[in-house]
């Protein structure tokens, strides 16, 4: 194989990278956002990194579940694993086209872009399956919730006074099935878009065959697993925040420009990074650095170029 270019980088985009707060999620909005994200991350390409882009898909899957519900009288509703696969493909297409156009603008004709529909094996015995916690889809009234629990067997929770929502398991990511294909395509100098929404959750059924399961995998934890298995030199998580903060949203809030693995573990253990906020991102970085002697960066898109020079964002190393 013709391996070339430079070091390996896994870049994890936030779940709202293509649908921003307050937007409806039209294809025009998503294409415009993809162009903006591409311009922000393009310094990595210009610097010669072999790049894998991962991304969340929460808003897109939410829209698909609403379409499922409202169209179920006309066409069969699809299970959650299929919705994840659908959004991996559609979001991959939007990102792929934006990146290809940016490559053409820079006359980089020897770099190609490929979207990899990615499956992630999860463990049947994962405690998450006994305790679903990840809200997905629409809000319902209490009466609708009771009906769905009875008719569909869904687990439902009340969500911050806004109504009742379905919750699904969020198991830990295991083996990434297409890991070596992603690695080899990336090493050849291609830009690979993979692990959309954390990947499609699958498990082994009673016949030991792979089978989709209705669950959601955290995309940062899955991206960390991928970064480890392909031996990435750089692991980047883009968030809405410019930096990681201690005492977030408190009068004593202060940014962290750099942090060691030991410090990251300590702050995580003392509860500085809540599970529903920065917690999974810091845990993903810790998981990566415990195995790989690389560098992790957490920042927002507009600050990425400066963060690569150590002038913004939060950099974590061993």
Q: Tens-of-pLDDT digits for all 318 residues of the chain?
A: 344 457 999 999 987 899 988 898 999 999 999 999 999 999 999 999 999 999 999 889 888 988 988 898 899 989 999 999 999 999 999 999 999 999 999 999 889 999 999 999 999 999 999 999 888 877 889 999 999 899 888 899 988 788 898 889 999 999 999 999 999 999 999 999 999 999 999 999 999 999 999 999 999 999 999 999 999 999 999 999 999 999 999 999 999 999 999 999 999 999 999 887 899 999 999 999 999 999 999 999 999 999 999 999 999 999
Tokens in use for 32? 């415009």
Tokens in use for 96? 């792929």
What integer pLDDT is reported at residue 300 of this predicted model? 95
- Give rounded-to-5 percent helix, strand, coil for the chain: 40, 20, 35
Measured distance CA(53)–CA(66) in Å, rounded: 27
The DSSP string of 184-249 is HHHHTT-EEEE-GGG-EEEEE-TTS-EEE-S----HHHHHHHHHHHTT-SEEEEE-SSSSEEESTT
What integer pLDDT is reported at residue 5 of this predicted model? 53
What integer pLDDT is reported at residue 3 of this predicted model? 40
C-beta neighbour count of 78 within 10 angstroms: 16
What integer pLDDT is reported at residue 226 of this predicted model? 98
Measured distance CA(57)–CA(61) in Å, rounded: 6
Residues that are catalytic: 15-16, 134, 219, 281
User: Bridge-partner residues for 255, per DSSP?
Assistant: 245
What integer pLDDT is reported at residue 95 of this predicted model? 97
Strands 295-299 and 314-317: what pairing? antiparallel
Question: Which residues lie below 8 Å from residue 125, measured CB to CB, with a gap of 6+?
Answer: none
Distances (CA, A) of 9 to 5, 50, 59, 100, 291: 12, 6, 26, 18, 15
């Amino acid at each position: 194989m013709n391996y070339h270019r430079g070091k390996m980088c896994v870049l994890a985009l936030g779940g709202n990278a293509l649908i921003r707060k307050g937007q409806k999620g039209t294809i025009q909005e998503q294409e415009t956002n993809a162009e903006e994200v591409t311009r922000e991350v393009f310094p990595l390409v210009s610097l010669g990194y072999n790049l894998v882009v991962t991304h969340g898909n929460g808003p897109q899957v939410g829209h698909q579940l609403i379409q499922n519900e409202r169209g179920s009288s006309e066409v069969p509703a699809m299970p959650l694993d299929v919705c994840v696969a659908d959004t991996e493909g559609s979001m991959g297409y939007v990102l792929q086209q934006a990146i290809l156009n940016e490559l053409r603008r820079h006359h980089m004709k020897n770099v190609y872009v490929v979207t990899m529909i990615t499956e992630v094996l999860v463990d049947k015995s994962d405690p998450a399956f006994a305790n679903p916690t990840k809200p997905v889809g629409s809000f319902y009234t209490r009466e609708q919730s009771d009906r769905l629990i009875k008719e569909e067997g869904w687990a439902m929770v009340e969500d911050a006074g806004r109504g009742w929502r379905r919750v699904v398991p969020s198991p830990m990511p295991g083996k990434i099935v297409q890991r070596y294909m992603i690695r080899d395509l990336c090493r050849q100098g291609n830009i690979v878009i993979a692990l959309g929404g954390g990947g499609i959750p699958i498990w082994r059924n009673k016949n030991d065959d792979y089978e989709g399961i209705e669950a959601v995998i955290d995309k940062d934890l899955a991206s960390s697993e991928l970064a480890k298995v392909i031996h990435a030199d750089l692991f980047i998580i883009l968030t809405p925040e410019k930096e990681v903060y201690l005492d977030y949203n408190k009068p004593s809030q202060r940014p962290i420009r750099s942090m060691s693995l030991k410090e990251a573990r300590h702050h995580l253990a003392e509860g500085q990074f809540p599970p529903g906020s920065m917690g999974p991102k810091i845990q993903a970085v810790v998981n990566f650095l415990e195995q790989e002697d690389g560098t992790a960066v957490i920042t927002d898109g507009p600050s990425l170029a400066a963060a690569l020079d150590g002038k913004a964002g939060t950099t974590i190393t061993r």
